[in-house]
Amino acid sequence: MFRRRRLFFIILSVLFSAVFAFLFIGEAKEAENITWGVNFSQKQATYLNPDWKETYGALLEDLNVKNLKIAAHWDILEPKNQEFFFKDLDWQLNEAERVGAKILLAIGMKTPRWPECHIPEWANTFTKEELREEILEMLETVVLRYKDHEALFAWQVENEPLFPFGKCPWRDFSFLQNEVNLVQSLDSEHEVFVSDSGELSLWMNAARLGDKVAVTLYKRIWSKELHTFLTTPFPPISYQRKAWLIEKLFGKEVIVGELQAEPWVKEELENSTFKEQEKTMSLTQLQKNIAFAKNTGLDTFYLWGAEWWYQMKKIHGREEFWQEAKKLFKTANENPNF
């Protein structure tokens, strides 16, 4: 019995050491060609600056962003059952086309920004089966409308749909598979991304679906459970190694769909002080996050926080974040190998 127990702990120690070495030891080679983009949410932009079109326009015209991941929130698209409102999303894609920008369009019940699941009020009392039917109908309507749009680069079906974050009624792998299959059946010309937590997942389930995987990358966060600010412990090599594993097992590329470039605060961002915001995002932290991202060896990053940069610039007169981003996109546009 003693020998078996000793052997068990030896094997356990070896496995732990192997996993630790795989995720924490080593350095990744920086990608030769890096694509930089931003996330954009009409809701978030309106929350921080009522003229959301002004914010979006500044991203295209002043920052000269050429890659955007846009959140197509269900409650904006279908404010009344069977009555779709596409005017705003049409405008966003048309403006992107005008300047030669490409859109990764996030669609579904769960799309970026709190509360994550943007369910219309009219659907709040629906059963799970009824809600599923409405979601599939909404997806079909959106895909058929935009699949031939010149600005469309790819789809992202749901946002971290298997990760327990946000005010959402369920996490359902089988239904997610139905959603992805539906989008792929309607549009064979554009790839489908499935997203996952970059830090708290191995990305295996996300990689089982769709064509590519999009993950998050956050360095400074507020932990509601621990009631403290934390720096995530994972080094750049952990992202590269997990991406390598996904490529080997599933033959799929991994990108960073959310690279932290705004504060993660305790409560509402709008109600937080600059001192509170700087605990998780300062100019130095932004620069560190960008450098960290390059060191992962991955080659595509959509920065998270563009709406906040513009608010800081326009309303608070603090341009340092906007100017840092402007410098990044200027260099990237002038030097594709950056």
35-41 and 152-157 beta bridge pairing: unpaired
Cα gap 115→109, rounded to integer Å? 11
Count CA atoms within 13 Å of residue 159 on its CB side: 30
Let me know if 186 is exposed, middle or buried by CB neighbors in 10 A (0-12, 13-18, 19+): middle
Question: Which residues make Cβ contacts (< 8 Å) with residue 134, sequence separation at least 6?
Answer: 81, 123, 126
Please report where in the chains the tokens 């920086």 appear, as a residue.
30
Nearest CA to 156 out of 204, 111, 222 is that of 111
**Least-confidence region, from 6-20, 126-140, 149-163, 286-300:** 6-20
**Please, which contacts does 324-328 make with residues 24 or more away whose CB atoms are closer than 8 Å?**
324/283, 324/286, 324/287, 325/38, 325/63, 325/261, 326/62, 326/63, 328/36, 328/290
Cα gap 328→318, rounded to integer Å? 17
Cα gap 34→31, rounded to integer Å? 6
Domain residue ranges of the chain, discontinuous segments joined by +? 34-334
Cα gap 65→123, rounded to integer Å? 35
Instruction: Tell me the one-letter amino acid at 208.
Output: R
pLDDT band at 335 (very low <50, low <70, confident <90, very high): confident
Look up residue 65 and give its two tokens.
């962003």
Cα gap 118→21, rounded to integer Å? 40
What would the mean pLDDT of 280-301 be, rounded to a whole number? 98
pLDDT of residue 22: 75
Residue 336 has pLDDT above 70, yes or no: no
Question: What would the pLDDT profile of 172-223 be if each residue is shown by its tens digit?
Answer: 999 999 999 999 999 999 999 999 999 999 999 999 999 999 999 999 999 9
Name the CATH architecture for the domain at 34-334: Alpha-Beta Barrel (3.20)
What would the mean pLDDT of 133-160 be, rounded to a whole number? 98
Strand partners, 40: 70
Whether the Cβ atoms of residue 179 and residue 133 lie closer than 8 Å to each other: no
pLDDT of residue 175: 98
As a whole-number percent, the residues of the chain with pLDDT over 90 amount to 88
Residue 338 has pLDDT above 60, yes or no: no
pLDDT of residue 2: 65
What are the Cα distances from residue 112, in Å, to 115, 158, 304? 8, 8, 10
Question: What would the pLDDT profile of 188-197 be if each residue is shown by its tens digit?
Answer: 999 999 999 9
Mean pLDDT of the chain: 95
